[in-house]
Amino acid sequence: MKRTTLILLPLLMAACAGAPSSTPGQKAQQMTLVVLPLHNDTGDASLDATGAALADVVSARLIGLKGFRLIERRRLQEIASEARLAMTGLTDEGSALQLGKLAGASALALGSYSKVGDKAVVSLRVVKSETGEILGAATERGSGVSKLDQIADRAAKKLADALAR
């Protein structure tokens, strides 16, 4: 089992090595991104599944904008499975960064959603796969958790604008 992992890991890394990476003057022009499910910080367990849906909203917004190439989140799960890496919720940012590199992503979009009083908050950030450097971040607020999808969409647009600068 370990031998298979040791053989697969270098092969996957070599296969993904040709993926374009971003350069300082062209952050948004060549960004290859994996959008991970957003983390539920609301304290309401009934909203746990919302994180994957919000990641889809963010992906839909970014794919519609010039300069972003997205890698399907499920592809990341396949790579983790083939390399026998644990991906339970991707709570460890270091593991997520390593998987992003294996998938050929130059960056990962991570984030969370929470409630502050009667307001809902979506926070997003893009982290460079190679170094963990935060390339951009955005936060949006709105009226309640029933509007999380709209809030996530606005946060994704704001994030894309920040990355284009």
In a domain, 17, yes or no: no
**Amino acid 23: pLDDT:** 43
- CATH no. for residue 55? 3.40.50.10070
pLDDT at 133: 93
- Domain total in the chain: 1
Whole-Å CA distances, 159 to 19, 25, 84, 137, 154 = 22, 17, 32, 6, 9
Question: Does residue 72 lie in a domain region?
Answer: yes
**Boundaries of domain holding 149:** 2-9+28-164
Residue range 83-117, pLDDT digits in tens: 554 444 444 566 666 666 666 778 889 999 999 99
Asked if residue 140 is part of any domain, the answer here is yes
User: DSSP string spanning 24-83?
Assistant: GGGTTTTEEEEEPPPEE-SS-GGGTTHHHHHHHHHHHHHHTSTTEEE--HHHHHHHHHHT
With respect to residue 133, please indicate whether it lies within any of the assigned structural domains. Answer: yes
Q: Do the domain assignments include residue 105?
A: yes
| In-domain check, residue 18 | no
Residue 54 forms part of a structural domain:
yes
How far apart CA 142 and CA 119 sit, in angstroms, is 6
What are the residue ranges in the chain where pLDDT is below 70? 1-29, 73, 75-103
